[in-house]
Amino acid sequence: MKAARLMTLSILAIGVLAAATTSRPASTAVLQALPVDLPGGEGGIGFDDLGFAPALGKLLVPAGRTGNLDLVDPASRQIVAIDGFSAQRGFERGHGEGTTSADFGRGLIFASDRTAKQLLVLDPAAGRVVARAKLAGSPDYVRWVAPTGEIWVTQPDQDRIEIFTLPAAGPPVPAHKEFIATAGGPESLVVDAARNRAYTHLWKATTLAIDVKTRAIAARWPNRCAGSRGIALDPRRGLLFAGCAEGKAVVLDLLHDGAVVDTLNAGAGVDIIDYNPRLGHLYLPSAKSETLAILGVSKAGKLSLLATVKTAPAAHCVVADDRHQAWVCDPSHGRLLLVDDTLPAIN
Q: Tens digit of pLDDT for each residue in 76-128? A: 999 999 999 999 876 666 566 899 999 999 999 999 999 999 999 999 999 99
Residue 179 confidence (pLDDT) above 60: yes
φ, ψ (nearest 5 deg) of residue 256: -130, 55
Rounded to the nearest integer, the mean pLDDT of the chain is 90
Residues 189 and 177 in one domain: no
* CA distances, 197 to each of 117, 213, 218, 219, 234 (Å): 26, 8, 9, 10, 13
- Using DSSP, state whether 283 is helix, strand or coil: strand
Residues 176 and 124 in one domain: yes
Residues 175 and 110 in one domain: yes
Which residue in 271, 266, 275, 265 sits closest to 329, CA to CA?
271
The neighbouring-strand residues paired with 251 are 241, 262
Residue 340 confidence (pLDDT) above 60: yes
- Using DSSP, state whether 302 is helix, strand or coil: coil
Tell me which of 122, 148, 181 is where a domain ends: 181
Residues 115 and 199 in one domain: no
Residue 283 CA from chain centroid, whole number: 10
| Pairwise CA distance, residues 123 & 130, whole Å | 6
Residues 101 and 138 in one domain: yes
| Pairwise CA distance, residues 87 & 305, whole Å | 39
Domain boundaries, position 89: 46-181
Tell me which of 163, 181, 199 is where a domain ends: 181
Taking only Cα atoms into account, the Rg of the chain, rounded to an integer number of angstroms, comes to: 19
* CA distances, 221 to each of 145, 201, 260, 261 (Å): 22, 9, 9, 12
165 contact partners, CB below 8 Å, separation of at least 6? 149, 150, 151, 174, 175, 177
Q: Tens digit of pLDDT for each residue in 269-292? A: 999 999 999 999 999 999 999 999
Is the distance from CB of 225 to CB of 240 less than 8 angstroms?
Answer: no
152: left (phi over 0), alpha (psi -120 to 50) or beta: beta
**What percentage of the chain reaches a pLDDT higher than 90?**
86
Residues 53 and 87 in one domain: yes
Residue 28 confidence (pLDDT) above 50: no
Q: Tens digit of pLDDT for each residue in 198-241? A: 999 999 999 999 999 999 999 999 999 999 999 999 999 999 99
| Pairwise CA distance, residues 287 & 316, whole Å | 5
Tell me which of 133, 158, 181 is where a domain ends: 181
Alpha helices in 86-190 (DSSP H): none
Q: Tens digit of pLDDT for each residue in 289-298? A: 999 999 999 9
Q: What is the pLDDT of residue 29?
A: 56
**What percentage of the chain reaches a pLDDT higher than 70?**
89
Residues 96 and 78 in one domain: yes
Residues 162 and 235 in one domain: no
Residues 74 and 220 in one domain: no
State the total domains in the chain: 2
Which residue in 208, 207, 206, 204 sits closest to 180, CA to CA?
208
Q: What is the pLDDT of residue 97?
A: 83
Residues 6 and 61 in one domain: no
76 contact partners, CB below 8 Å, separation of at least 6? none
Q: What is the pLDDT of residue 165?
A: 98
Amino acid 168 reads A
Residues 338 and 190 in one domain: yes
In this structure, the chain runs to a length of: 347
Q: What is the pLDDT of residue 5?
A: 33
Mean pLDDT of 145-173: 97
Residues 206 and 155 in one domain: no
Task: Report yes or no on whether pTM surpasses 0.75.
Answer: yes
For residue 319, give the CATH number of its domain. Answer: 2.130.10.10
- Using DSSP, state whether 194 is helix, strand or coil: helix
Q: What is the pLDDT of residue 32?
A: 73
